[in-house]
Amino acid sequence: MFKNCIVRRPCKAMVEGITSAPELGKPDYELALKQHDSYIEALKKCGVEVTVLDALEQYPDSCFVEDPAVITSKCAIITNPGAGTRNGEKAEILPAVKKFFRDDQIEYIKAPGTLEGGDVMMVGDHFYVGRSARTNEEGIKQFIAILEKHGLTGSEVPLEKVLHLKTGINYIENNNMLVSGEFIDKPEFAKYNKIVIPEEEAYAANCIWMNGTVIIPEGYPAVEKAVKDAGYDIILVDTSEYRKLDGGLSCLSLRF
Ligand code: CIR
């Protein structure tokens, strides 16, 4: 069960955030703030304390706090984001992580290793790590060594198309995996009960399990039905403005 979440308010500069889908238009900042309020409310409904960090204007993508840190049951890992404009976010997340972890429980991914938390998917004590344009072989090597030092395990998943691993696959506990696109047939995930997301709703593969409830982006009826049919309580949150920056529900929080 999760007890805590860390989120960061989006900054006005988010309209200049990185995107692979400029055709969706720039985010509406006021609407993004309202959606962030709803996101925080949804997390609180799932029984966690939410630490809300101030917006950081110098980092347009800094509301996506999942990327500069990974938090496990045993340790926190400050990453080394592969996106140049995001790399400095690692120093900004550290003080928040230090409120929950002692110095000897905090580990660091170091150059030339790069890694972003969006590439890390936790399944119990095992962590799948996507090798992407943001997360390199050396970053994964360091990450797995850190996990093993703390009694956890990790394995690499090569990515073909998606930005981050969790762009296309998410674990919602009870052996259930939401899978889309390139993840539908990957042998690594054959042992899970796969809930296949139709191509037109691929964005909604990025749902989060929060203490028995699954938070789902609003506007994806097939995913909503599939998750309900699997027996979960659900909460819908509109993330349309974050989608314009390739961001989803998981990207907006650290959950631990
Ligand atoms: C980026 O390209 O870094 C941001 N615009 C989106 C980050 C999404 N984060 C995530 O999937 N964990």
ipTM of the modeled complex: 0.98
Structural domain boundaries enclosing 97: 4-255
Q: Is the CB of 130 under 6 A from ligand 1?
A: no
pTM over 0.95, yes/no: yes
Q: Which of 180, 245, 250, 254 to mutate to test the pocket of ligand 1 (most atoms within 8 A of CB)?
A: 245
* CATH code, domain with 138: 3.75.10.10
Q: What region does 39 belong to: left with phi over 0, alpha with psi -120 to 50, or beta? A: alpha
User: pLDDT digits over 63-119, tens only?
Assistant: 999 999 999 999 999 999 999 999 999 999 999 999 999 999 999 999 999 999 999
Give the chain's domain count: 1
In tens digits, the chain (256 residues) has pLDDT values of 999 999 999 999 999 999 999 999 999 999 999 999 999 999 999 999 999 999 999 999 999 999 999 999 999 999 999 999 999 999 999 999 999 999 999 999 999 999 999 999 999 999 999 999 999 999 999 999 999 999 999 999 999 999 999 999 999 999 999 999 999 999 999 999 999 999 999 999 999 999 999 999 999 999 999 999 999 999 999 999 999 999 999 999 999 9
Question: Mean pLDDT score of the chain, rounded to an integer?
Answer: 98
In the reported structure, the alpha carbon of residue 130 is separated from the centroid of ligand 1 by a whole-number distance in angstroms of 14
Q: What region does 231 belong to: left with phi over 0, alpha with psi -120 to 50, or beta? A: left
| Beta-sheet strand order (sheet of 49-53) | 49-53, 4-8, 254-255
Residue 120: what residue type?
V
H helix runs in the chain, sequence order: 29-45, 89-98, 137-149, 165-168, 221-229, 240-243
Q: Is the CB of 119 under 6 A from ligand 1?
A: no
**Which residues does 179 contact at the CB level (< 8 Å), separation at least 6?**
168, 169, 189, 194, 195, 196, 197, 205
